[in-house]
Amino acid sequence: MAWQTPVVSSAMSYFNYADWNRVEGNCAALATLLQICGYNVGLTTITSRSDGSYLDFYDSLNRIEGNILALYACYGVSPSGWIIPKTTWTYDMPLSFNDTNRMEGNELALYNQVSGIIQEYLVCGQGLAICGLGWRN
């Protein structure tokens, strides 16, 4: 699944099926990137919403934010802009741009972190910030 640029939403933004697919597809893209680093993260992602007929309930939100948490747990190091995901969704909870921005922001933060690590992987087999070389530089 190819990485797609996350979208920053506002209170006037609509969240359509393509947005759901992007958020879930980016989880899958991050999992693919992490495979390069030796992490095999098994995720369930749904990216086949095609016409708005799919219905997402609170368990979709728990799955998405749970996936983001699982991706984060590979390194366990908070990237810049990281916000702790919410995995306690249930029915009758308001969903706002703060929530979608958290999901997409976390994905972007992880993407930047993991992309950087892949660049630096040749130097120490890790991200420089993680192995300590980054600190020395």
Partner 1 sequence: MLPVTQNFHKSISVFPRTISATVEFDLVDAMAQSNCTPTSNSIAPIGGVAQAADGMTQTRKYMSEETNYLLLDGIFFTPPKPSDHVAFDSIGWWSAAISDQDGNFAVAYPTLTLTQSASFTSLGLTFVFSPLTGDYCNSIQIVTTDNIAHQTTYYINPTSANYFWSQQLTIITQVVITFYSTNKPYRRVHLAEVIFGEQFLWTGQNLFDLDILEELDPLCNSAPPKEVHASVANNLNNFNLYLGNMQKKQPLKPYLNLIYANGTSETVPMGTFYLYNWRNDANYLSSTLYARDLLDLMDGTMFYKYSYSGSPITLYALAVSVLQDFCAQASLNVTYQIDIALQSISTTGVLSAMSHHDVLMYVAQAGMGAVYVDRYNVLHIRQTVSQQPLNPMPYTEELTLSMQETYPKIAIQDPYNYFTLNIYTSTIASSTSTIYSGTVPITGQISLWVNYTTPASASTCVAVVTVGTLVSATYYTDAAYFTISGSGNAVITITGKAITSTSVQAILNNAGTQPTNEVDLDNPLVTTAAMATSILSWYAAECGNMYLYEVESWGDPSLECGDVIFWDSQYSTNTKQAKIIRQEFRFGGTLSGTINGKGW
Binding-site size, partner 1 (CB under 8 A): 32
Please pick, from the candidates 35, 38, 44, 57, the single residue that binds partner 1 as defined by CB under 8 A: 57
Residue labelled with tokens 């749970």: 66
Binding to partner 1 by residue 92, rule CB under 8 A? yes
Q: Which is nearer to partner 1, 36 or 54 (CB)?
A: 54
Minimum distance of partner 1 from residue 43's CB (angstroms): 20
Minimum distance of partner 1 from residue 62's CB (angstroms): 10
Binding to partner 1 by residue 58, rule CB under 8 A? yes
CA angle 2, 81, 90 (to 5 degrees): 80
Q: 22, 46 in Cβ contact below 8 A?
A: no
Cβ burial 64-85 (10 Å sphere, 16+ → b, else e): bbbbbebbbebbeeebeebeeb
Two tokens at 100?
A: 């979608």
Binding to partner 1 by residue 98, rule CB under 8 A? yes
Minimum distance of partner 1 from residue 51's CB (angstroms): 6
Residue labelled with tokens 């993680």: 130
Q: Which is nearer to partner 1, 35 or 44 (CB)?
A: 44
CA-CA-CA-CA torsion sign (63, 65, 68, 72)? negative
Other C-beta atoms lying within 10 Å of the C-beta of residue 6: 20
Binding mask 7-26 for partner 1 (x = CB under 8 A): --xxxxxxxxx--x------
Q: Would you tell me which residues interact with partner 1 (CB under 8 A)?
A: 9-17, 20, 49, 51-58, 61, 89-100
